[in-house]
């Protein structure tokens, strides 16, 4: 049995992983998808003081109090920032790490640095239209539109501190959602495809392979556990 820890992206919550959670558990593994502070079912905890380190602590504390070990840590979109930071604090506990159409920061970078977007002055970033994500199924798109919540703005401007723990994880993968190419996802995918210590996958989906192709995504996750 492997422990899978799944981290969502901006404006989302653990709810976006439900189809993946069901499939992982059906294969006999344990899977947890916490919601980051200030979002979705934890939106009542929203505060202007929430930053990237708050969300990194969410992940580290989930691993600790769920008593997880030999973890496959997976992050989608903004979640790539979070799992990069969490890998620093969970070193020795990670069996694998998977970036799913996710930001892949270097030491000292912020999410805003990667996208080129200026951090807004408001404390919250409203969700974009759900169809911006290129979700294949209309019902899934409507569900995303209904469940998204504003995202804490400080998390986009906060710069990350990395020592290389991410690269020291035994198994590493980057999954590109190839139907919706963005340079900040395409770039890491192309660079890592030339790195023999990483595996890369290109799924023909929109930005949400957990909704568009959950079976294919779970196959990749489980492959990273063996």
Measured distance CA(84)–CA(110) in Å, rounded:
12
* Per-residue pLDDT tens over the stretch 36-91: 999 999 999 999 999 999 999 999 999 999 999 999 999 999 999 999 999 999 99
As a whole number of angstroms, the distance between CA 189 and CA 121 comes to 31
- Model pLDDT for residues 142-194, shown as the tens digit of each residue: 999 999 999 999 999 999 999 999 999 999 999 999 887 799 999 999 999 99
Helix (H, G, I), strand (E, B) or coil at 162: coil
**Model pTM above 0.95:** yes
1 versus 88: the higher-pLDDT residue is: 88
Tell me the C-alpha distance between 151 and 219, whole Å.
30
- Rounded to an integer, the average pLDDT of 89-100 is 97
pLDDT (0 to 100) of residue 178: 84
Task: Give the C-alpha distances (Å, rounded to integers) separating 125 from 56, 121, 154, 188.
Answer: 19, 9, 10, 25
pLDDT above 90 (res 27): yes
Domain ranges in the chain? 3-223
The closest of 210, 189, 208 to 200, measured between CA atoms, is: 189
As a CATH number, domain 3-223 is: 3.40.50.1820
């Amino acid at each position: 049995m492997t422990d899978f820890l799944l981290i969502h992206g901006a404006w989302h919550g653990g709810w976006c992983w439900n189809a993946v959670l069901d499939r992982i558990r059906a294969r006999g593994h344990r899977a947890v998808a916490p919601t980051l502070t200030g979002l979705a079912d934890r939106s009542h905890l929203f505060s202007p003081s929430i930053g990237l380190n708050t969300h990194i602590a969410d992940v580290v504390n989930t691993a600790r109090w769920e008593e997880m070990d030999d973890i496959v840590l997976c992050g989608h979109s903004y979640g790539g920032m979070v799992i990069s930071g969490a890998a620093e604090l969970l070193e020795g506990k990670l069996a694998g790490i998977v970036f799913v159409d996710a930001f892949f920061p270097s030491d000292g970078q912020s999410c805003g640095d990667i996208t080129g977007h200026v951090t807004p002055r408001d404390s919250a970033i409203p969700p974009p239209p759900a169809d911006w994500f290129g979700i294949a199924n209309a019902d899934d798109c409507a569900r995303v539109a209904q469940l998204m919540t504003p995202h804490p703005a400080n998390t986009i401007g906060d710069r990350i501190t990395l020592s290389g723990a991410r690269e020291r994880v035994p198994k590493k993968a980057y999954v590109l959602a190839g139907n919706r190419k963005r340079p900040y996802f395409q770039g890491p995918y192309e660079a890592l495809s030339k790195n023999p210590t990483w595996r890369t996958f290109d799924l023909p989906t929109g930005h949400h392979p957990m909704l568009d192709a959950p079976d294919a995504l779970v196959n990749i996750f489980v492959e990273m556990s063996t």
